[in-house]
Structure 1
Amino acid sequence: MAARVFNERGYDGTSMEDLARALGVTKSAIYHHVTGKTELLRRSLDLAMDALFAVTREEASTTGPAVDRLEHVLRGSVRVLVEELPHVTLLLRVRGNTEVEKRALERRREFDRLIADLVRQGAAEGGIRPDVDPAVAARLLFGMVNSIAEWYKPDRGLDSSEIADTLARIAFAGLSVSRTHPLAE
């Protein structure tokens, strides 16, 4: 619930009174469980990052060809985004204004490096084009994943596997059916 309020009002624009009102409790009830809104922010951001890193430790993310591992992480990240939408949305909006946000951004950079390494390994194995910069590819792939937070609505009938299937098709096979692009040669 705190993540939803932070997303609506912004972290700096959210007071403990706002959080208490949204939860239907008193501020003292919140303080009984946490030290303040900074702890709520940390918990929300950690929940999102922990879920993303958990995907990178799944067996399909650690064994087999790098391109298959990359696709698994991509699909798992879509699943995490959909399942933890308020927390991931909050993660995507932090700008490093607090120590908690700086820590979350560092963890995001670590995740980006893992993805770039998978792209690099995939190129070395021959499963990914060698003429693509791994860091740029990682940013573009996860730019597509992250954009889901801007348009996805849970009540519209799309589930995470449908979104992940479409995203993986575009990322790994492209949009064109038969057209050869000059850069693909």
Structure 2
Amino acid sequence: MAENSTRTAYTADTLLAVTVRVFNERGYDGTSMEDLSRAAGISKSSIYHHVRGKEELLRLAVGRALDALFAILEEPAAVTGRPVDRLEHVVRRTAEVLIDELPYVTLLLRVRGNTATEEWALERRRDFDHRVAELVKAAAAEGELRPDVEPRLATRLLFGMINSIAEWYRPGSRTADGVAEAVVHLAFDGLRAEP
């Protein structure tokens, strides 16, 4: 009885946070329900009270990251104005979301398509990438980006720079406030067409 009173009461959100940490440490394929149970300090049956299984936890986790990214594309600054300004907003906000949702976006960046959920996540990522690529193309067509940088290459370089944040950024570091602005500064000082 005393054992139960000292355990943390888990909600779906707190269970998801533990799950994402373990998935990021061990890999999705390398994580068992027993590993999750041990990390959460609850029984497997308690986990099944919240979800049907490991793949549902993965879908919830990567879904959180994807929802945050797609929400950027609906923000007013992403849908109105000059294409280059809209693109700059999306790039800044994508870096901010990566930092704010670091464990979830890190997990999203690590999915490889080994399950139906991973395939779904990869398809949504491609859709997001495609929508940003359309902004790059629109900015290039308006003459707002340098004509000597091919739009597909620019898109890949932008995502490469943003996604690399997941590999080196650590929460609580003093650089948190400047990361998104540094990405925008480095990218757009090099991409914007000269007036």
User: TM-score with structure 1 length normalisation?
Assistant: 0.91
Percent identity of the aligned residues? 61
1:136 deviates by 1.8
- The reply to whether residue 162 of structure 1 matches residue 178 of structure 2 is yes
Residue among 49, 52, 73 paired with 2:66? 49
2:193 aligned with 1:172: no
Deviations along 1:49-76, whole A, 9 cap, x unmatched? Answer: 1100000110000000111111111111
Contact 1:113 1:135 in 2 (8 A): no
2:75 counterpart of 1:58: yes
1:141-185 CA distance string (max 9 Å, x none): 0110000000001122222x41011111110113xxxxxxxxx9x
Residue 40 of structure 1 corresponds to 57
Out of 7, 11, 15, which is 2:32 matched to?
A: 15
Partner of 2:143: 126
> What does residue 180 of structure 1 align with?
none
Asked if 1:99 corresponds to 2:124, the answer is no
User: What stretches of structure 1 move > 4 A for 4+ residues in a row?
Assistant: none
Which sections of structure 2, spanning at least 5 residues, go unmatched? 1-17
Deviation at 1:4, TM superposition (A): 1.1
What letter is aligned with 1:163?
V
Distance in 2 of aligned mates of 1:150 and 1:18: 24
In structure 1, give the amino acid aligned to 2:186: I
Structure 2 residue aligned with 1:111 = 128
Using the TM superposition, give the Cα deviation of residue 5 of structure 1 relative to its aligned residue in structure 2, in angstroms: 0.5
Comparing 44-53 with 129-138, greater Cα deviation is found at 129-138
Aligned residue in 1 for 2:166: 149
2:101 to 68, 84, 95: 84
Q: Give me the whole-angstrom Cα distance separating, in 1, the residues matched to 2:152 and 2:180.
A: 21
Q: 1:133: how far off?
A: 2.0
Cα distance between partner residues in 2 of 1:112 and 1:131: 21
2:107 counterpart SS class: helix
What is the distance in 1 between the residues matched to 2:153 and 2:140?
Answer: 13
1:81 and 1:20 mapped to 2: Cα distance? 27
What is the CA–CA distance in structure 2 between the aligned matches of 1:114 and 1:106, rounded to whole Å? Answer: 12
Find the aligned partners of 1:131 and 1:157 in 2 and give their Cα distance: 36
In 1: Cα distance, 2:134 partner to 2:148 partner: 15
The structural deviation recorded for 1:37 is: 0.5
CA RMSD, 1 decimal: 1.2
Unmatched runs of 5 consecutive residues or more in structure 1: 175-183
Which residue type is aligned with residue 79 of structure 1? E
CA–CA separation in structure 1 for the residues paired with 2:118 and 2:169: 24
C-alpha separation in 1, matches of 2:117 and 2:49: 21
Q: Does structure 2 conserve the Cα–Cα contact (< 8 Å) formed by 1:48 and 1:91?
A: yes
- The residue type paired with residue 2 of structure 1 is T
